[in-house]
């Protein structure tokens, strides 16, 4: 685990220490998700947040089920009901 001290500038900016950025494979322009959890500021790379969300949702989707196919079928059925096409 890598740690580093940061200072909050007057305009609210912080600089993530180079060692921490390197350990995460971060480069300039990368996006982070910022959240407060139990009184702590958590900065998480977007790809990590997406992976966690996918893992959470996957628990509720049966194997072999395509949510995309289900959504398309629902939208087609709705269009059929609404427009008769």
3 state DSSP class of 82 = helix
pLDDT by residue (tens digit) across 30-42? Answer: 999 999 999 999 9
Selection from 37, 38, 42 nearest residue 16 by Cα: 42
pLDDT by residue (tens digit) across 2-53? Answer: 788 899 999 999 999 999 999 989 999 999 999 999 999 999 999 999 999 9
Q: Count the alpha carbons within 13 Å of 20 in the hemisphere toward its beta carbon.
A: 12
Beta carbons within 10 angstroms of residue 78's beta carbon: 10
Q: Give yes or no for a contact between 53 and 35, defined as CB atoms under 8 angstroms apart.
A: no
Report the predicted TM-score, pTM, of the whole model to 2 decimal places: 0.61
Residue 27: alpha-carbon gap to chain centroid: 17
């Amino acid at each position: 685990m890598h740690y580093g001290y940061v200072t909050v500038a007057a305009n609210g900016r912080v600089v993530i220490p180079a060692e921490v950025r390197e350990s995460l494979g971060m480069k300039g322009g990368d996006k982070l998700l910022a959240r407060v959890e139990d009184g702590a500021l958590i900065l998480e790379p977007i790809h990590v947040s997406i992976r966690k969300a996918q893992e959470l949702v996957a628990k509720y989707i049966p194997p072999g089920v395509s949510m995309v196919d289900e959504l398309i079928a629902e939208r087609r059925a709705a269009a059929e009901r609404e427009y008769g096409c």
